[in-house]
Amino acid sequence: MIAQTPTQNSNQRRILVTAALPYANGPIHIGHLVEYIQTDIWVRFQKLVGNRCIFICADDTHGTAIMIRARKEGRSEEALIAETQVHHQRDFAGFDIQFDNYGSTNSPENLELCHQFWASLRAAGLVAERDVSQLFDPEANTFLADRFVKGTCPTCKAINQYGDNCDKCNATYSPTDLIDPKSTLSGATPELRSSKHLFVELEKLHEFLESWTQCGKHLQTEVANYLKGHFLGDPLRDWDVSRPAPYFGFEIPDAPGNYWYVWFDAPIGYIASTWAWCKANGEKLDDWWRSDATEVHHFIGKDITYFHTLFWPGMLKTAGFSLPTKVHIHGFLTVGGEKMSKSKGTFVKAETYLKHLNPTYLRYYFASKLGSKLDDLDLNLDELISKVNSDLVGKVVNLASRTAKFANKTGLSSTYPDDGGLFEAAAKAGTAIAEAYEECDFAKAMRLIMELADRANPYIENAQPWVLAKSPDSQQALRDVCTVGLNLFRQLIVYLSPVLPKLAEQCGALLGEPITSWSQSQSPLLGTQVNPFEHMLARVNPEDIQAMIEESKQENTPEPTAPADPWNDTADALNAEPLADECTIEDFVKVDLRVARIVAAEQVPEARKLLRLTLSLGGDVRKNVFAGIKSAYEPEQLIGRLVVCVANLKPRQMKFGLSEGMVTAAGSGGDEIYLLSPDSGAKPGMRVH
RNA sequence: GGGCCGGUAGCUCAGUCGGUUAGAGCAGGGGACUCAUAAUCCCUUGGUCGCGGGUUCAAGUCCUGCCCGGCCUACCA
């Protein structure tokens, strides 16, 4: 049974755990942390109950995005990923996420393993070769992934859409279908180029993948169903695993000028990082990756399900490595029920969080919300405040802070006093708590633990140590009460220690014995000294949360050096209507542009192009204007809006009446007429300078 | 359109194999205490278990139809 103390050799499981490899192209944010905190808790739990467990991770360093960014910043990819790795490791450490090894996919171990995997795939006859036509940016000298191409949607004609699908009409297409495509890197018009690509014929592993995914042990049932419905019902498509130069990655040995696609070498990085750890610790890689005695657990987000449940098992199977015992898949983080938003300041970087808040808060909050399902996890900041303040500070830490002062004088009793069965009951509850941890149902574990905490404080209340402390006759009784209080506290902390390692350390320091084993929850600590109590955990200050949100907003406001024209504006309009001859400022000021409000708008039945507008320049100044915008606007949508008009234009007699001005608009005519409007705050009558 | 998950107190959620009067925490109300970080303790208000039908001696729980929300995905399960 899990809750029992595992004897070091007999029942001990050997477990290898990975979290997804963060991409070395950006900072860690609180969304990432859901996964790393979850995984870290599980690993710490496994270690606590006495299993042999290692936590392996690495930076994912290859691919076009890294190459482009390094180029833009004028440095080598190696310099970029080295710097990012330092930041990542600093951030993880800041949240008490403790890896046994944190490697890099750009390592000699990974290169060697990629060769091994590749040779196995070749030998198994799973590699096919085909020509692929792909858009190429002649200026940036690189092939373009879908997200680096923008253009007009071939289906609905919406402009500025990415190369794979359209935001507006949800159509999916190939980037070569885009109308007027542009590279977002250089703005150049990409050209179609054909190149050789290498494919893994996954369909040949269909039968294996079907049975592996559907056996009910390796995946959550929702995931197994999803795969069955989505992919396994049809022949599996070949997987394109190569990219032609230039590409930042490993060159494919038997296809010079071609590189393994980043998603080929990234998961191999799990093994490579393990290998690096083995070398440093005198371990054999085969004991961890080619042994039935070792469990392999991957923790990932639902966005990369496909790679980890189809490609990866297929690769492992072919290359003769252990298959994952389980792939644990979690949902995304939302904040206040919405996607993280840069403008709302809810896209919080790990670094920014740590400037304002204690990592313990987030670890506990996530734990209290994490189940074993794929549901998205919502971070509600008010809830975080109330959970941390009432559960951790009010209930748990309070147990120590209200008894430790007395116990510092008396020490702990040498036999455990009668506590009405509290300690024993809580010790028994350890089984259920451990099961919840094992199942990754941390929310349940936290619930069970807090139930215990709820029973502990009334004991103190009834025993009234503050009364006992006043009388010299009741010193033994006082010591007994504190012995109970501190042992109940310690027991809770043992249970919480996978989530709250800092608190566990502080508890160990207070009682003079470090928290190292689950078994410490099963028997009380007796007859020892108690050190002076030191403040353990501050309450969450709402102002700190506000400050964090504010800083996140600041960070994400204007990016002055925007990456090479992300808007991808074409020169078509300018070419169609070249710039006019130079004019002087005197020329310009002759034209009196004014803000005006359209107070009335109506059709002119006989007119083909005109609408009749009544403009207000404020007060009771009105102008009657015939505007040639009928093809693009309905009168109803115009009433009330502000426009910019030429107010001193000589009135002109038209067929339908006198026009006393002109409304400014851009565009070539037809559907393409865009009225100019001032930003909000402008008032009718204001002059445009 | 399809798939998956969910809908239980103001909020966040438990609720085992169908089995007494549906629970907890937080918030609200009242009181107590002072050892503790205004922490804690006691009492208390609050529910048509999304809606309808069915099975059953018995339904929050099982079946079915519908409504709502989230995620995924698109003529494909």
Complex ipTM: 0.93
Residue A447, CB, strand B, below 7 Å: yes
In angstroms, the CA of A183 and the C1' of B60 are apart by: 57
Provide the token pair at A412.
Answer: 């702990």
* d(C-alpha A15, C-alpha A291), whole Å: 11
In angstroms, the CA of A228 and the C1' of B33 are apart by: 61
* d(C-alpha A662, C-alpha A627), whole Å: 7
How much is the pLDDT for A573? 67
Task: Give the nearest nucleotide to A334, CA to C1'.
Answer: B70
Residue A442, CB, strand B, below 7 Å: no
* d(C-alpha A689, C-alpha A593), whole Å: 8
Q: Which residue spans within A67-117 are E strands per DSSP?
A: 101-104
In angstroms, the CA of A47 and the C1' of B66 are apart by: 50
How much is the pLDDT for A407? 93
The answer to whether residues A26 and A306 touch, using CB atoms and an 8 Å cutoff, is no
How much is the pLDDT for A581? 62
Q: What is the pTM of this model?
A: 0.81
* d(C-alpha A368, C-alpha A24), whole Å: 30
**Distances in Å between the alpha carbon of A102 and those of A83, A86, A97, A201, A329?**
14, 11, 11, 32, 21
Report, as ranges of residue numbers, the positions in chain A whose pLDDT lies below 50.
1-8, 559-566
How much is the pLDDT for A7? 42
Pairing of strands A622-627, A642-646: unpaired
In what helix (H) or strand (E) does residue A363 lie, and over which residues does it extend? helix A359-369
How much is the pLDDT for A586? 65
Residue A126, CB, strand B, below 7 Å: no
**Tens digits of per-residue pLDDT, A357-366?**
999 999 999 9
The answer to whether residues A25 and A70 touch, using CB atoms and an 8 Å cutoff, is no
How much is the pLDDT for A665? 82
Q: Which residues 320-359 in chain A have a CB closer than 7 A to strand B?
A: 331-332, 339
Residue A386, CB, strand B, below 7 Å: yes
Q: Which residues 484-543 in chain A have a CB closer than 7 A to strand B?
A: 535-539
